[in-house]
Amino acid sequence: MSEKTDPAEILLVDKPLRWTSFDVVKKIRGHFRLKKVGHAGTLDPLATGLLIVCTGKKTKEIQFIMDEEKEYTGTLVLGKTTPSYDLETEIQNEKDISHITEQLVHDASKKFSGWIDQIPPQHSAIRVKGKRAYESARKGKTVVLEPRKVEIKQMELMPRLPEVDFRIICSKGTYIRSLVRDIGEELGVGAYLSALRRTRIGKYAINDARTIEELTTNESL
């Protein structure tokens, strides 16, 4: 008897808040009884939006999908910082932002247009000497993370101070949390990411994605 072959599918999933990307993969693998399944680009637990899951022979396309540009929407908060640059960790510092204007915010963001050197967050999945950076960060240890070249292709900011809504199109490897940190530092008041949603990866858009519940109402893909 021949062994069952996993269907070759590219699934567009709207990842829910507080789920890890692996949680989504695990749910799909278990529900559809798949052996070969993976995702094309991690989303943080506190981010929502487009997660692409590939099954069967389509897993060979994961790297190509990951290389595509990404689009995000979200919100940053000025005048406060956290160690993780988002709400995973507690707010540490608060600064007065009464002197910050919408024009200052737009001017600061211009420094981060095009190709830039970006230092990833300490709370990230990057491996340093075999360990994930976030594992050291959660123990209060700081690791040295080298700057990376990333491209900010488009950035739209909609300030409603102290919050700033945004839409960003960027290259692979871009950490929106780090971009938020850098804008806050450029303004001299700090900032953290309060909400993030991935809306597009290359040609794949969030409008075509399904929720976990919608995906798992059927017994087969």
For this structure, is 107 an active site residue? no
DSSP conformational letter for 35:
S
Which of 6, 44, 86, 182 is catalytic? The answer is: 44
Using DSSP, state whether 13 is helix, strand or coil.
Answer: strand
Using DSSP, state whether 152 is helix, strand or coil.
Answer: strand
Query: Left (φ > 0), alpha (ψ -120 to 50) or beta: where does 176 sit?
Result: alpha
- Pick from 82, 62, 94, 45: nearest CA to 202: 62
Residue 5: CA atoms inside 13 Å, Cβ hemisphere, count? 7
- Point out the residues that are catalytic: 44
